[in-house]
Amino acid sequence: MAEDIVERIAAADGAWGFEAEALPSWDAAVPDWRAVLARVGGAAAPALAEALAEAGVLAPAEVAVLLADDAAVRELNRDWRGFDKPTNVLSFATWWDDDCPPPPAPDLPAHLGDLALALETLLAEALAEGKAPADHLAHLVLHGLLHLIGYDHGDADEARAMENLEVRLLAEIGIPDPYGGDRDDD
């Protein structure tokens, strides 16, 4: 069995980045996943910087990304959310919640949290929705990042604000509106 791929991917001029762990199957299915993470990181940099500044964190930041399969994400979803099924992306905030430790010292990177993505689910959704897998990956990573910095979609207003920000940031990196364009701008 091949070993997982582990890489550090800088985003936004080194102000923050990803520590990615991927199954080898990701290289075959979405060969440009590294570039996708870097592009999403650049697009999300202003929103992340604003959220970090509001939280009093001026240090560089880091997000761990697990590019897994449906079985691994199903297990995480079952153990942490009580849903015994795979899902496209899971976000686990490290310190935004009340239960999390305070941000680290300014000379250490702030670990914003972890993202886990399920390859088979991502590919099936991309196919069903007529999207390029790399574009769908970009959307899901961005969606997860926004959850890590406090965005949510628990009600219609929150969902609209989060979706509008996703659409705007994805457009900056040349990815079409993943929701189909029927929305009011904030």
| More confidently predicted of 33 and 112 | 33
State the pLDDT at residue 133.
98
CATH no., domain 5-172: 3.40.390.30
| More confidently predicted of 23 and 149 | 23
The whole-model pTM stands at 0.89
81 SS3 class: helix
In this predicted structure, the answer to whether residue 29 has a pLDDT above a threshold of 70 is yes
pLDDT confidence bin for 94, thresholds 50/70/90: confident
In this predicted structure, the answer to whether residue 97 has a pLDDT above a threshold of 80 is no
In this predicted structure, the answer to whether residue 35 has a pLDDT above a threshold of 80 is yes
Cross-strand pairs, 54: none
Pairing of strands 16-22, 110-118: unpaired
Q: Which of 40-44, 58-62, 87-91 has the highest mean pLDDT?
A: 87-91
| More confidently predicted of 48 and 75 | 75
Tens of pLDDT along 9-23?
Answer: 876 666 778 899 999
C-alpha separations of 83 from 66, 75, 77, 78, 157 in Å: 19, 9, 6, 5, 25
State the pLDDT at residue 1.
40
State the pLDDT at residue 151.
87
State the pLDDT at residue 114.
95
Q: Which long-range contacts (C-beta less than 8 Å, at least 24 apart) are formed by 51-58? A: 51/149, 51/150, 52/110, 52/149, 55/96, 55/103, 56/103, 57/103, 57/110, 58/106
State the pLDDT at residue 127.
97
| More confidently predicted of 3 and 131 | 131
